[in-house]
């Protein structure tokens, strides 16, 4: 329904726009657009029309236009909370995090009461990494609209990120009660609960999988969840079979190109020749490496220190670099941008990066950025921020390949498309290993170090002390009680890092050896299976 100050001038317009709003919610865009334009011709000053057209533009990923329309929906004397909230959602989609948060806070200050706006604010704060802030808005949305399943799913995800697995599972299950066909909720619930022979979600997952064969994204979620269930049941053959079924359709749709990643790695290596005077700030600590190799674990160890706080996985360094190079290529991090880095002002990149990170962590002396892909930018980070520390995670090659294959990454994030095939993941690991060895030889040991996941598991205190010393900090015993750290975790490790350290993931690949033969052969041919 409309904000009271923006209500139509007559009942006919009001009825038409109410209908348009319902049509938008049902994604009947042509009909909604026609109604809005009809009213606009009769009354071009009606602000509610611009709000609805903004929703339509945002739903079609035209977020720049959507922001303009949401601004036109605002009345100077009676600001609209929902227009601020929807603008914030478009701003976050445009990677304008700071202005998105500002717009969301303006909406929140107006005490919105409708469920959609409350949920939208939760989405914005979640995507901005402010998961604790998001929970309250999601809870309010579910109270306002207890029949809307999606609000419970969003609440479950936020609760999972802040470590409340029990309540997250309750929220996911409530979502399923309202919408038994929600593959996201069923998959998420299976992922965060221990499955047993007597209590598991196999039947429901398999039924839903059969029903969504023409939807590669739904099949991906459900198949990954089934693989996790069978891993819990210690049935590796079934787990790998389901991973294969889960990934096949999406892999065919994506069409991963090894050559494209080879070009990216080659361009990254060339950045090591750049020599510039950077920004001298010593607060950033970058944790890099392949995902699922211990980056979150090391983040939790370091951020348990009283002088260190984690900002999560930031894209700000790559975004600052993209702006500085001015490249117009499609991706933020690509060969064109890396090739142009030598012409950019890297000190300014460093300043912009620190300013962005400080808006997330304003007070702690040191800020962790655990974006794994920053391993491609290690040389550029050192040039832009010569006093920053870079910690690169390493893990056994076969375990690294398996863990990446087992993980379901966001399909809209193309940098992890290698993970749909074991052989592709092995090729990627070989390129990663070569680049990290190059950085090891080129970057000063005082600012770039490697840490092996297996060493952390074997002797957490020794490795924690080494890393704390590397960061020029005094030892604090809280660092080895990382599982007591209450800060949110918005990664696939959100459940694991709430537990004391365990060793069951070390050498996991041995249980899957017979299903990994092509990948293992590639690693062996590269001389990595017996290398440190």
In the predicted structure, residue 484 carries a pLDDT above the cut 70: no
Compute the half-sphere exposure of residue 81: CA atoms within 13 Å on the CB side of its CA.
Answer: 20
| pLDDT for residue 245 | 95
* Contact status, residue 384 vs residue 291, Cβ threshold 8 Å: no
> Mean of the per-residue pLDDT values for the chain?
92
**Per-residue pLDDT for 116 more than 50?**
yes
- Tell me which of 269 and 46 has the higher pLDDT: 269
Close Cβ partners of 65 (under 8 Å, ≥ 6 residues apart): 54, 57
Each residue of 420-476: pLDDT tens digit? Answer: 999 999 999 999 999 999 999 999 999 999 999 999 999 999 999 999 999 999 999
Query: What per-residue confidence (pLDDT) applies to 95?
Result: 86
293 vs 532, which has greater pLDDT? 293
Token pair for 378: 């290690």
The domains of the chain, with CATH numbers, are 263-312+353-525 (3.40.50.300)
CA distance 87 to 64: 9
| 308 phi/psi in degrees, rounded to 5 | -130, 140
- What mean pLDDT comes out for the span 393-419? 94
Assess whether pLDDT exceeds 90 at residue 90.
yes
Mean pLDDT for the stretch of residues 145-164: 95
Cα distances from 287 to residues 374, 391, 393, 451, in angstroms, run 8, 5, 7, 10
Across 43-48, average pLDDT: 90
| 232 contacts: CB under 8 Å, gap ≥ 6 | 194, 195, 196, 200
Instruction: Give the DSSP letter of residue 481.
Output: -
d(CA 356, CA 67): 22
Supply the pLDDT for residue 531.
60
Higher-pLDDT residue of 261, 360: 261
pLDDT for 3 beyond 50:
no
Summarize pLDDT for 50-77 with one digit per residue, the tens: 999 999 999 999 999 999 999 999 998 8
């Amino acid at each position: 329904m409309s904000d009271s100050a923006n209500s139509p001038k007559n009942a006919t317009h009001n009825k038409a726009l109410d209908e348009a709003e319902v049509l938008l919610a049902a994604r009947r865009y042509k009909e909604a657009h026609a109604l809005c334009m009809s009213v606009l011709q009769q009354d071009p000053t009606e602000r509610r029309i611009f709000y609805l057209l903004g929703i339509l533009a945002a739903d079609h990923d035209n977020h720049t236009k959507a922001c303009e329309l949401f601004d036109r929906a605002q009345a100077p004397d009676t600001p609209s909370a929902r227009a601020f909230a929807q603008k914030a959602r478009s701003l976050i989609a445009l990677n304008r995090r700071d202005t998105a948060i500002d717009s969301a806070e303006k909406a929140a200050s107006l005490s919105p009461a409708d469920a959609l706006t409350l949920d939208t604010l939760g989405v914005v704060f979640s995507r901005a990494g402010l998961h604790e802030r998001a929970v309250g808005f999601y809870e309010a949305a579910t109270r306002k609209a207890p029949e809307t399943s999606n609000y419970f799913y969003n609440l479950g995800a936020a609760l999972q990120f802040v470590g409340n697995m029990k309540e997250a599972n309750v929220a996911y299950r409530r979502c399923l009660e309202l919408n038994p066909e929600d593959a996201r909720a069923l998959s998420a619930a299976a992922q965060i609960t221990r499955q047993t022979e007597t209590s598991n979600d196999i039947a429901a997952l398999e039924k839903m999988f059969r029903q969504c064969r023409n939807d590669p994204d739904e099949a991906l979620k459900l198949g990954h969840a089934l693989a996790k269930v069978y891993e819990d049941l210690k049935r590796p053959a079934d787990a790998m079979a389901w991973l294969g079924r889960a990934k096949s359709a999406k892999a065919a749709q994506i069409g991963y190109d090894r050559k494209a990643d080879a070009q990216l790695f080659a361009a990254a290596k060339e950045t090591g020749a750049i020599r510039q005077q950077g920004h001298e700030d010593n607060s950033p600590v970058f944790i890099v490496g392949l995902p699922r190799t211990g980056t979150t674990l090391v983040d939790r160890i370091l951020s348990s220190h009283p002088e260190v706080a984690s900002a999560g996985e930031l894209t700000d360094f790559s975004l600052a670099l993209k702006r500085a190079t001015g490249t117009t290529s499609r991706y933020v991090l690509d060969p064109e941008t890396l090739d142009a880095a030598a012409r950019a002002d890297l000190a300014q990149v460093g300043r912009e990066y620190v300013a962005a990170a400080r808006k997330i962590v304003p007070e702690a002396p040191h800020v962790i950025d655990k974006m794994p892909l920053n391993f491609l930018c290690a040389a550029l980070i050192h040039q832009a921020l010569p006093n920053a520390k870079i910690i690169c995670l390493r893990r056994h090659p076969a375990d690294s390949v398996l863990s990446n294959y087992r993980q379901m990454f966001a399909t809209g994030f193309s940098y992890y498309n290698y993970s749909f095939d074991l052989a592709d993941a092995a090729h990627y690991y070989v390129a990663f290993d070569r680049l990290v060895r190059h950085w090891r030889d080129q970057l000063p040991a005082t600012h770039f170090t490697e840490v092996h996941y297996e060493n952390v598991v074997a002797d957490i205190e020794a490795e924690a002390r080494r890393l704390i010393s590397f960061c020029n900090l005094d030892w604090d015993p809280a660092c080895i009680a990382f599982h007591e750290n209450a800060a949110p975790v918005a990664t696939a490790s959100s459940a694991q890092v709430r537990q004391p350290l365990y060793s069951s993931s070390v050498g996991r690949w041995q249980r899957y050896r017979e299903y990994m033969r092509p990948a293992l052969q590639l690693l062996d041919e590269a001389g990595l299976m017996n290398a440190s």
